[in-house]
Chain A
Amino acid sequence: MKQTGPSLISPPIGDEAYKDLEEAVGPEFVTREPAVLDGYAWQPLWNEGPEMWVHRPIAVVLPASTEEVQAVVKICNKHGLKFKAICTGWGALAGPRCENVVQIELRRMDRILEIDEKNMFVVVEPHAIGGQVMAETMRKGLHTHIVSSGAASSPLASATSCVGCAPDGTYMNWSSRNLLGVEWVLPDGEVIRLGTLGSGDGWFCGDGPGPSLRGVLRGRLGAFGGNGVFTKCALKLYNWPGPPEPVPEGFLYDTELELPPHCKAYIMFFPDRKSLADATQAITVEGIGYNAFKPGMGSLLTMIVPHLLHKESWKKAKYLKKAIQAFNYQFLEVLATDSAEELEFQEAVMRDEVSKHGGFMMDMEHTGMAEMIFWTFVLSSNYPIFFKAAGMFITAYGQDESHHSMVMASPDGEKIKQKWIDRGGILDDNADSGIHFMMEESTVSHYEEPIEFDHRNPDQTRTIKPIEMEFTHMQAEHCMESGITSPVMRKMFGPTEGFYTKWQKGIGKIIDPRGCADDYLYNAEPVEGEPLPDDPAILEMTEKLADIATKMAWTEDGPLE
């Protein structure tokens, strides 16, 4: 295992600042013990390259309240330190990305403060995880959207600070759109409460009076801790027609529990990609699906037969691979309805579209797998299994727009993947694990390409950066924004997206006048003179990216028409 490099270790926190932190949260809830700090610096997931360490924080504090968060942030301002919040964490995105960072660990703020059953929202603290919220809201016949990082992740973090969606999106929307009232500790330590909450009128609306500050708080992406700490928020809840306390037996895909009344799981297969796009769009706009998505055959293989994918015989199994690819145009529908008649309607629509497009569909009850599929998706419990095949994965592309644009982009993603599979750079999952979710009954659709690799294998880890860069290039070619960005990428692609960095930096200056937040993933400038890695693949892609960014940059009059 690679050791923490000296460049990632900041000078120790000063005694005075440390004492202030102890006074703010209590000495038992702050530490500068190196072994503990390294626990936060070891963030292999979503790290940018083979280096598995992010910057070691200079201290970790565990506040228990908004007031304590404020106090910690103000101490950072006073002593010229930076801060970054971590909640349930999703790898390197939540870890420090620069020197002198106090990591604000929010795990003590884990309460569900209110469930408003009538008005269908829940008020949560940061570390109330999805599973916890789900368990409590299901008792009241309600459910909450949980992103595809799974039930162990924080719904507050998803809605305020990160990005994500899930197969439940068609019924339960996506995170940024589910936000109501919010409590936000700004990087200078002041608190702002958005919408009705700011006026003392409760949690039920996050917008207004007048202009909505939700648009300042986040965009398609959150600021990943770069704009402060979110300490409470209200999230929309949705109807749950199933039992109040589902207690499945078994684990992940081996779950056993009866299907609730009027609930089903179906899988549909289509002859080609276009048919898949047409039919699933038509089905989803009719409001069908409690969970709905296009899984990848490759993803299924990684879950069901992970060892097979490492064998030499698999790599050579040309005809088997072709046969498997024939089933790639599939779509999974988990139906949870309130009546037999509604279920019948939903089934009829699916059957009609499948038939029109020359596909076929299977009622999963006929395969004995319906209960397992239904509960696995409803409880958002399947996602950790993606680690099973190779030990580590990233997802690429990660865009949201019209359904057809997402589905029809996937061949380009598969080509990129196949190239790197052929070079031995990533796990051979047959290059067809691309997934699509649809949100708000198809207002937008999502495309994401999982890429699995062994992070103990340097030959594989060194391919990740160039793969990500290829997908960034593909995004630009497809007129899609550049996604979660580093300072270099923001500088390169900001001009292709209306020079958005100008306005985003303006917001940063307003809320963080002393530059106290760790804003590497939000507004930070690239470090001048930093040498490029000497990897030829990275150098080649850097040139290609610079080229396409220049070609697509806006002028003062807007995009080139």
Chain B
Amino acid sequence: MATVAESPVKKRLSDIVGSQAVSDKPDVLQSYAGGPGSAPRGKPIATVRPRNRNEVQAIVRLANELGINLVPASSGPPRFRGGTVPCEAGVIVDLSAMDRIVRVDRLNMVAIIEPGVTFARFKAEAEKQQLRVFMPLLPRSTKSALASYLDREPITIPKYHWDMSDPMLTAEIVFGEGDLFRTGSAAGPGSLEDQWKMGLAQKNPEGPAQTSFNRVVQGAQGTLGIVTWASVKLGMLPEIKRCYFAQDDSLERLVDFSYRVHRIKLADDFLILDRMALASALAESPDEIRALAEKQAPYTLIYCVCGYWHFPEKRVAYQEKGISGIAQHYGVRLTNEVPGAGSKRMSEIIDNPSSEPYWKLRLKGGVREVFFLTTMDKTPGFIKQMETLAEERGFPVGDIGLYIQPVQQGRNCHMEFQIYYNPDDEPETARANKLFKEASRAMAGSGAFFSRPYGPWADIAYSRCPDTVWMLKEIKEMLDPNRVLNRGKLCFGEEI
């Protein structure tokens, strides 16, 4: 691999951040090379680790001067989806050293975090003030909380997912030529400190004025700006949390139940797993997972009922009674345990990042994910489609996991198929990759909305919305005219 050891790039980067924060060592670069989903076309030529926004601005300005491709990354490996893997040779802007939790504001239930803050750290800090961090399901331990929110990863509590941008509120962004910007009520007037003195808490995500660039940089995979901090919503840490299960052969029944529970905002955490995904979350070794999966019903709905800071028992009681009535109406049987987990254990599992090994890798060491947005009523149709495709392609249906996460208060859902495979087995890897590609394309044709179009999904998603592509390209031209930010991603490559 070509190095940039003595290159002007390394020298200039070192001038900004210091030589110890720039690297072109092969083993370091390899850790950014991505996994099976990343389909890299370019390689990292160096990494640079800024410590503050001034350094980020200086790096972006240097990239404009020298024509360097910058690929922002905040989370640690493994990298599944390729958002931070370069499409063209480029410098990785590793933001993990920007890891301050700038503020946790109990009164206003909001925090400001930098990109290097992982969920585990964020959670520990928030809980000191009796606040709850909204998390995706079992994030990997190295996952940046801010990166997750920027990517619009679904959180496990649909009730508090009011809008697709949640729980992210305002942000500080360095645009493609190094301009600094702040979104929402953080835009000003005044510095953060001035705003805090007036009791403001960077809570209003909309604006400033007639734009909301926080929405524009969400889902952008670092192609439109580098976010140096964001304010995010926090919830009340429950005084009581009880986890329940509904196991069923019929997904349709669980879907009906789900609609009603969400309509009247009863449950907190709420998600559906199939037997293999559930077993992967609960057990660690492949044998244990397979054995445990055998004991489960095809679908398991998991929900939690919480009581907070006022009369927690009363709150839990009315919700339990309400949900129980709905279950009875739809013929859904509720339990407080499933094989391998009771209420307490499940609650602990979904309240924390994944233990090692990462839950999706436990069965076979590799996973290809097919995920998209749809509505709950359409989920059974996509399952049939996946099963048919898997059977036709000779891929074991039993090696595919399912995760359904209602979002936007149950108005739609994140649907995720997890295709488990052994990365050391070439034919199996090839079959998994083939199924991944064919299922992605087929499901898009059936109405699956690839709202987070990583890797090959970009072509699939953007070929269906030429008007959106036109506007996104114009916005890219405005924010990053010299195309220094994560070249070739989304619809900003040559092929679309």
Note whether A and B form a binding pair: yes
Q: Give A residues with C-beta under 8 Å from B.
A: 118-121, 141, 173, 176-177, 180, 190-196, 198-202, 204-216, 218-223, 226-227, 236, 239, 241, 281-282, 285-287, 338-339, 341-342, 344-345, 348-349, 352-353, 400-405, 408-409, 440, 442-444, 476, 478-482, 485, 490, 493, 496-501, 503-504, 506-507, 510-511, 522, 552, 554, 556-561
Known: A196-B449, A198-B465. A349 touches B214 (CB 8 A): no
Identity of the chain B residue whose Cβ is nearest the Cβ of A406 in the assembled complex: B199
Known: A191-B467, A212-B215. A220 touches B208 (CB 8 A): yes
**Beta-carbon contact of B468 and A341 below 8 Å:** no
| Cβ contacts under 8 Å, A121 to chain B | 411
* Interface residues as binary, B302-341 with A (CB distance below 8 Å gives 1, 0 otherwise): 0000001111001101100110000000000000000000
Known: A206-B164, A210-B221, A338-B264. A352 touches B310 (CB 8 A): yes
**Beta-carbon contact of B188 and A479 below 8 Å:** yes
Within the complex, the shortest CB–CB distance from B73 to chain A, in Å, comes to 18
Report Cα–Cα, A541/B37, bound state, in Å: 59
**Beta-carbon contact of B212 and A218 below 8 Å:** yes
Apart from A193-B468, A219-B206: 13 A-B pairs, beta carbons within 8 A:
A141-B263, A173-B163, A192-B471, A209-B457, A209-B458, A210-B462, A210-B472, A342-B318, A400-B185, A401-B200, A404-B199, A409-B199, A507-B211
| Residue B259 lies at the interface, judged by CB distance under 8 Å to chain A | yes
Leading 10 A-B pairs by shortest Cβ distance: A215-B215, A220-B207, A208-B451, A405-B199, A341-B318, A479-B190, A496-B189, A215-B212, A209-B461, A220-B206
| Residue B198 lies at the interface, judged by CB distance under 8 Å to chain A | yes
| Cβ contacts under 8 Å, B182 to chain A | 498, 558-559
Q: When the two chains form the complex, which single residue of A207, A400, A401, A479 contacts B219, counting CB atoms closer than 8 Å?
A: A207
Most A C-beta atoms less than 10 A away, residue of B203, B209, B475:
B209
| Cβ contacts under 8 Å, A352 to chain B | 310-311
| Residue B354 lies at the interface, judged by CB distance under 8 Å to chain A | no
**Beta-carbon contact of B191 and A500 below 8 Å:** no
Report Cα–Cα, A481/B465, bound state, in Å: 35
| Residue B194 lies at the interface, judged by CB distance under 8 Å to chain A | yes
**Beta-carbon contact of A497 and B208 below 8 Å:** yes
**Beta-carbon contact of A211 and B411 below 8 Å:** no
| Cβ contacts under 8 Å, A480 to chain B | 185, 189, 200
| Cβ contacts under 8 Å, A560 to chain B | 191
| Residue B129 lies at the interface, judged by CB distance under 8 Å to chain A | no
| Cβ contacts under 8 Å, A511 to chain B | 471
Report Cα–Cα, A262/B318, bound state, in Å: 13
**Beta-carbon contact of A506 and B478 below 8 Å:** yes
**Beta-carbon contact of A199 and B465 below 8 Å:** yes
Report Cα–Cα, A500/B308, bound state, in Å: 40
Known: A209-B461, A213-B468. A481 touches B263 (CB 8 A): no
**Beta-carbon contact of B464 and A199 below 8 Å:** yes
Known: A209-B450, A286-B308, A345-B311. A215 touches B189 (CB 8 A): no
Report Cα–Cα, A151/B233, bound state, in Å: 31
Within the complex, the shortest CB–CB distance from A68 to chain B, in Å, comes to 19
**Beta-carbon contact of B165 and A208 below 8 Å:** no
**What are 24 A-B residue pairs whose CB atoms fall within 8 Å in the complex?**
A119-B375, A193-B468, A198-B465, A208-B164, A209-B457, A209-B462, A209-B465, A211-B217, A211-B472, A211-B475, A215-B211, A220-B209, A221-B210, A222-B210, A341-B317, A342-B318, A348-B311, A400-B206, A404-B108, A443-B203, A479-B188, A481-B208, A497-B187, A559-B191
Q: When the two chains form the complex, which single residue of B53, B203, B490 contacts A402, counting CB atoms closer than 8 Å?
A: B203
| Cβ contacts under 8 Å, A557 to chain B | 54, 180
Report Cα–Cα, A221/B377, bound state, in Å: 34
**Beta-carbon contact of A349 and B209 below 8 Å:** no
Tally B residues with Cβ within 8 Å of A.
100
Identity of the chain A residue whose Cβ is nearest the Cβ of B225 in the assembled complex: A211
Identity of the chain A residue whose Cβ is nearest the Cβ of B266 in the assembled complex: A338
| Cβ contacts under 8 Å, A221 to chain B | 207, 209-210
Report Cα–Cα, A490/B264, bound state, in Å: 42
Within the complex, the shortest CB–CB distance from A508 to chain B, in Å, comes to 9
**Beta-carbon contact of A214 and B490 below 8 Å:** no
Q: When the two chains form the complex, which single residue of A191, A214, A499 contacts B215, counting CB atoms closer than 8 Å?
A: A214
Q: When the two chains form the complex, which single residue of B162, B193, B211, B375 contacts A216, counting CB atoms closer than 8 Å?
A: B211
**Beta-carbon contact of A559 and B377 below 8 Å:** no
**Beta-carbon contact of A211 and B212 below 8 Å:** no
* Interface residues as binary, B50-93 with A (CB distance below 8 Å gives 1, 0 otherwise): 00011000000000000000000000000000000000000000
**Beta-carbon contact of A341 and B321 below 8 Å:** yes
Report Cα–Cα, A211/B373, bound state, in Å: 15
**Beta-carbon contact of B199 and A402 below 8 Å:** yes
| Residue B107 lies at the interface, judged by CB distance under 8 Å to chain A | yes
| Residue B123 lies at the interface, judged by CB distance under 8 Å to chain A | no
Known: A199-B461, A211-B217, A236-B411. A500 touches B322 (CB 8 A): no
| Cβ contacts under 8 Å, B214 to chain A | 215
**Beta-carbon contact of B475 and A120 below 8 Å:** no
**Beta-carbon contact of A444 and B204 below 8 Å:** yes
* Interface residues as binary, B393-415 with A (CB distance below 8 Å gives 1, 0 otherwise): 00000000000000011111000
* Interface residues as binary, B367-387 with A (CB distance below 8 Å gives 1, 0 otherwise): 000000111110000000000
Report Cα–Cα, A339/B374, bound state, in Å: 31
**Beta-carbon contact of A559 and B188 below 8 Å:** yes
From residue 15 to 72 of chain B, which have CB atoms closer than 8 A to chain A?
Answer: 53-54
Within the complex, the shortest CB–CB distance from B456 to chain A, in Å, comes to 13
Within the complex, the shortest CB–CB distance from A398 to chain B, in Å, comes to 12
Report Cα–Cα, A507/B190, bound state, in Å: 25
**Beta-carbon contact of B263 and A504 below 8 Å:** no
**Beta-carbon contact of A481 and B189 below 8 Å:** yes
Most A C-beta atoms less than 10 A away, residue of B236, B311, B448:
B311
**Beta-carbon contact of A210 and B200 below 8 Å:** no
| Cβ contacts under 8 Å, B193 to chain A | 561
| Residue B201 lies at the interface, judged by CB distance under 8 Å to chain A | yes
| Cβ contacts under 8 Å, B54 to chain A | 557
| Cβ contacts under 8 Å, A405 to chain B | 198-201
**Beta-carbon contact of B491 and A210 below 8 Å:** yes
Within the complex, the shortest CB–CB distance from B196 to chain A, in Å, comes to 9
* Interface residues as binary, B97-116 with A (CB distance below 8 Å gives 1, 0 otherwise): 00000000001111000000
Q: When the two chains form the complex, which single residue of B201, B314, B374 contacts A348, counting CB atoms closer than 8 Å?
A: B314
**Beta-carbon contact of A216 and B321 below 8 Å:** no
| Cβ contacts under 8 Å, A500 to chain B | 181, 187, 208-209, 211
Q: When the two chains form the complex, which single residue of B152, B211, B452 contacts A503, counting CB atoms closer than 8 Å?
A: B211
Report Cα–Cα, A353/B471, bound state, in Å: 49
* Interface residues as binary, B168-187 with A (CB distance below 8 Å gives 1, 0 otherwise): 01000000000111101101
| Residue B344 lies at the interface, judged by CB distance under 8 Å to chain A | no
Report Cα–Cα, A433/B167, bound state, in Å: 33
| Cβ contacts under 8 Å, B471 to chain A | 192, 213, 216, 510-511
| Cβ contacts under 8 Å, B464 to chain A | 198-200
**Beta-carbon contact of A120 and B263 below 8 Å:** yes
| Cβ contacts under 8 Å, B200 to chain A | 401-402, 405, 478-480
| Cβ contacts under 8 Å, A212 to chain B | 164-165, 215-216, 218-219
**Beta-carbon contact of B219 and A211 below 8 Å:** yes
* Interface residues as binary, B442-456 with A (CB distance below 8 Å gives 1, 0 otherwise): 000001111111000
| Cβ contacts under 8 Å, A506 to chain B | 478
| Cβ contacts under 8 Å, B236 to chain A | 285-286
Report Cα–Cα, A190/B468, bound state, in Å: 12
Report Cα–Cα, A176/B165, bound state, in Å: 12
Within the complex, the shortest CB–CB distance from A86 to chain B, in Å, comes to 18
| Residue B474 lies at the interface, judged by CB distance under 8 Å to chain A | yes
Identity of the chain A residue whose Cβ is nearest the Cβ of B492 in the assembled complex: A210
Within the complex, the shortest CB–CB distance from A469 to chain B, in Å, comes to 16
Within the complex, the shortest CB–CB distance from B468 to chain A, in Å, comes to 5
| Cβ contacts under 8 Å, B152 to chain A | 207-208
Identity of the chain A residue whose Cβ is nearest the Cβ of B212 in the assembled complex: A215
From residue 253 to 269 of chain B, which have CB atoms closer than 8 A to chain A?
Answer: 259, 263-265
Known: A402-B200, A479-B198, A500-B187. A211 touches B215 (CB 8 A): yes
| Cβ contacts under 8 Å, B108 to chain A | 402-404
Report Cα–Cα, A121/B450, bound state, in Å: 21
